[in-house]
């Protein structure tokens, strides 16, 4: 066999072994929860209907070259009022669930409200993938503040499920920039899961590695972690508890008996807990 053919054979063997590694990891690695990305476009008329609700407006943020996230904003009545920026979970309509959550959270308070779907979700540009969405997370806060003339210290971050991962990164990265948020509230956050794009070959892929713990050290206080004890999606309350433990004295932890993953967003005691937390940490 010539040297060139030998080299090609070795290269081919390396490629085959590399392609089989994800399958090996799936079969013999530690077991982790896996979820498909539920990103999909929504009709323009649906986006218009969300924005037509009283007080709401469309807002477009360019978070990277050629990537615009198209979200919803409801400005407060007073310029001195605090804002809440919501990082949604893996929902087929992040705008619908995010807007509903923010309306419930606001109640009778004067709050600025904002939610922006991630890349590939709803009306936003791009393809849903971990690196891009994570890089966008602090940019959403920075661009929101610039657009509306807000001090980041008047913005309270909230993240649900995978949104907890991105909100954690946004809080830490923004603090490093000297633009810390007022607070961070994590709703049933993920700590260690895998996300994948649905395909016939999904079982052969490693997926994307969502691990929140490595980012906790950069997150400043104060943090509130809200968790349902009956979280069937995440297999119980373990992931939320683990994040709260990792944050140590920077975090408060509240757990609600009998409450599942998505229903936590509608659970009035949890909503009241965040309202109180926001008011306590509004300057």
Q: Which two tokens stand for residue 84?
A: 């809440």
Q: Residue 184 and residue 229: Cα distance in Å, rounded?
A: 20
- Do 3 and 36 belong to one domain? no
- Do 83 and 9 belong to one domain? no
Q: ∠ CA 59-65-71 to the nearest 5 degrees?
A: 20
Backbone angles phi, psi at 105, to 5 degrees: -65, -40
Asked if 198 and 36 touch (Cβ cutoff 8 Å), the reply is yes
> Which CATH number does the domain housing residue 166 bear?
3.40.50.1820
- Do 135 and 14 belong to one domain? no
- Do 62 and 145 belong to one domain? yes
- Do 254 and 151 belong to one domain? yes
pLDDT digits (tens, 9 = 90+) for 128-180: 999 999 999 999 999 999 999 999 999 999 999 999 999 999 999 999 999 99
- Residue range(s) defining the domain that contains residue 13: 1-30
The count of structural domains within the chain is 2
pLDDT digits (tens, 9 = 90+) for 236-268: 999 999 999 999 999 999 999 999 999 999 999
- Do 202 and 258 belong to one domain? yes
Query: Would you give the DSSP letter of residue 41?
Result: B
- Do 209 and 223 belong to one domain? yes
- Do 25 and 63 belong to one domain? no
Q: Identify the CA nearest to 74 among candidates 90, 43, 50, 91.
A: 50
pTM beyond 0.95: the answer is: no
- Do 82 and 16 belong to one domain? no
């Amino acid at each position: 066999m010539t040297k060139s053919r030998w080299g090609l054979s070795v290269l081919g063997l390396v490629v085959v072994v590399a392609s089989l590694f994800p399958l090996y990891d799936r079969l013999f690695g530690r077991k982790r929860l896996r979820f498909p990305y539920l990103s999909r476009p929504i009709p323009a008329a649906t986006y218009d209907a969300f924005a037509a609700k009283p007080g709401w407006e469309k807002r477009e943020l360019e978070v990277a070259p050629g990537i615009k996230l198209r979200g919803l904003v409801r400005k407060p009545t007073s310029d001195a009022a605090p804002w809440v920026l919501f990082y949604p979970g893996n929902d087929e309509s992040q705008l619908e669930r995010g807007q509903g959550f923010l309306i419930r959270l606001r109640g009778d308070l004067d709050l600025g409200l904002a939610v922006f779907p991630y890349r590939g979700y709803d009306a936003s540009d791009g393809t849903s993938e971990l690196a891009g969405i994570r890089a966008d997370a602090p940019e959403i806060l920075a661009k929101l503040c610039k657009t509306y003339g807000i001090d980041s210290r008047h913005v309270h971050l909230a993240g649900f499920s995978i949104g907890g991962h991105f909100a954690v990164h946004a809080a830490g990265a923004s603090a490093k920039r000297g633009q810390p948020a007022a607070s961070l509230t994590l709703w049933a956050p993920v700590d260690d899961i895998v996300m994948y794009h649905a395909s016939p070959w999904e079982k052969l892929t490693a997926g994307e590695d969502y691990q929140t713990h490595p980012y906790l050290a950069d997150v400043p206080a104060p943090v509130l972690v809200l968790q349902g004890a009956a979280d069937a999606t995440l297999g119980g309350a373990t992931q939320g508890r683990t994040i709260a433990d990792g944050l140590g004295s920077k975090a408060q932890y509240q757990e609600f008996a009998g409450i599942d993953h998505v229903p936590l967003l509608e659970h009035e005691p949890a909503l009241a807990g965040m309202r109180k937390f926001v008011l306590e940490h509004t300057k």
